[in-house]
Amino acid sequence: MKEVKGFCKPYGLIALIFLCLFSAAAIAADFPSKPVTIVVGYSAGGSTDLQARIIASSAPEFLGQPVVVTCKPGGGGAVATAWITRQRLDGYLVLMVATPALVIKPHMTKLPYKLGDVIPIMRVGFSPRIVSVAIKHPFKNIHDLMEYAKKNPGALKFGSPGAGTGTHIEMETFCHLAGIKLTHVPFKGGAKSGAAAAGGHIDIHPATAGETLALAQAGKIRPIVVFSDKRLKELPDVPTLKEETGIDFAAGYESALWVAKGTPEDRIQILHEAFRKTLECKSAKKLFERIGDRIAYMSGKDLEPILVKKSEYYKKVLETIGLKKSGK
């Protein structure tokens, strides 16, 4: 009997391991078994929200379940990011915010999260920043704007989707490099900033093509410069900052899909594959082109080390322009 018992122990262990592996595979195969929600960190109508809704319209074909979009604006994406870290780690809640919510915001203010508390599933898009002015202004180019700003420090107001967003910090960096002072007015999303510029309530609207083209075509704002290495095909007559001023500065909006740290890896992979296929399908590509945004897919694994480098870069930038929080 002792011999039989001795042989039974490893077989029992093997059976237990097999059962665990089978159970894990069954759980993965069963995911998702209900709708997946994309939580957008900004208000409805902005580039991030529009991109999320494009993804939600095509992803069910590859995910096998409906995808719902809900907006939780505030703090330049910080409110939604903090909220998502406190929810169940089951993969049914996906965060969509621009990367500055993770690489900039934590350096500016005390937050209940840090880079690494949410894991990138993938990068979705990247769009160079376009700087436009309200039609009420006679500025025809960036030189006119800079000349006025130098004579009237702080008189001109620029909008952003919120304090600490990429838009905000890019404009503060531009001001530092150009030797001018502008006044920042934060909004809860790029759409609200655009509406304020269109109504003449603020003077400058720095935004993506998706948040610029329709307003420009309607004669509500006037694009004067783009923070890019080359001109945009949608705005061939709008020069880059470098060719106009010699200031070598390129920047833009980078969106990504995330899940909270601790979400099962197999579920992250299922989400990744479904969303990757979504971005590759023709219908999604056409819709991205229609709103003027660019698909710039990158896997979460490849994006993670880039985010670490960006976090260190912006930490130094914020220190230089005086916006880094004290004690860090």
CATH code reported for the domain at 33-126+253-320: 3.40.190.150
Residue pLDDT tens, the chain, 328 long: 444 444 344 445 444 444 444 444 444 569 999 999 999 999 898 889 999 999 999 999 999 999 999 999 998 899 999 999 999 999 999 999 999 999 999 999 999 999 999 999 999 999 899 999 999 999 999 999 999 999 999 999 999 988 889 999 999 999 999 999 999 999 988 889 999 999 999 999 999 888 899 999 999 999 999 999 999 988 999 999 999 999 999 999 999 999 999 999 999 999 999 999 999 999 999 999 888 788 999 999 999 999 999 999 999 999 998 888 765 5
> Among residues 169, 166, 157, 208, which one has the least CA distance to residue 50?
208
Q: How far apart are CA 69 and CA 75, in angstroms?
A: 19
33-126+253-320 and 128-245 in the same fold: yes
Q: What is the pLDDT of residue 294?
A: 86
Q: How far apart are CA 312 and CA 300, in angstroms?
A: 19
Q: What is the pLDDT of residue 89?
A: 96
Instruction: Please say whether the structural domain 128-245 has been given the CATH code 3.40.190.10.
Output: yes
CB distance 256 to 264 below 8 Å:
no
CB distance 96 to 122 below 8 Å:
no
The full set of domain ranges for the chain reads 33-126+253-320, 128-245
Rg of the chain over all Cα atoms, to the nearest angstrom: 23
Where does 135-269 show beta strands of DSSP type E?
157-160, 183-186, 204-207, 221-227, 252-260
Q: How far apart are CA 23 and CA 157, in angstroms?
A: 58
